Amino acid sequence: MVDKDAQLDAVFHALADPTRRAMLRSLSQGQASVGELAAPFDMSLAAASKHIKVLERAGLVRREVQGRTHLCRLDAAPMHGGLEWMRHYERYWNQRLDALDALLQAEDRAAASARKPRSRR
């Protein structure tokens, strides 16, 4: 079994770099060679390959060798763990913000009723 924390760390590490995110964006359109992934950047094929290896270790890219050509394709499944991690904190902050909103509304109602003049009978 793969350690979920280690997998999540690898995914976030891979996504932390703008070059790797751009490569993933490109792969979301379909498979590409290492050369095609390197083309938009001022980098060597060796540097592009290092980025791709980080993406592979995170499980985000699958590489297939066809002759001398290395073809890469996106595997977005590992991103699900990151999404679930972020959803946990989204729920956490939504609950906290809802509680703050309720408190502020209660204070506003209390202040408004304190300002109303009391009728005498």
Instruction: Give me the residues paired with residue 84 across strands.
Output: none
58-92 per-position pLDDT tens digit: 999 999 999 999 999 999 999 998 888 889 889 99
Q: Is pLDDT at 27 greater than 90 in this prediction?
A: yes
Contact 34, 52 (CB under 8 A): yes
> Left, alpha or beta for 60 (phi > 0: left; psi -120 to 50: alpha)?
alpha
pTM, 2 dp: 0.74
Q: Is the dihedral of CA 89, 93, 98, 100 positive or negative?
A: positive
Name the CATH topology of 4-74.
Answer: Arc Repressor Mutant, subunit A (1.10.10)
Q: Is pLDDT at 2 greater than 70 in this prediction?
A: no
What is the 3-state composition of the chain as percent helix, strand, coil, each rounded to the nearest 5? 65, 10, 25
Quote the tokens at residue 114.
């304190």
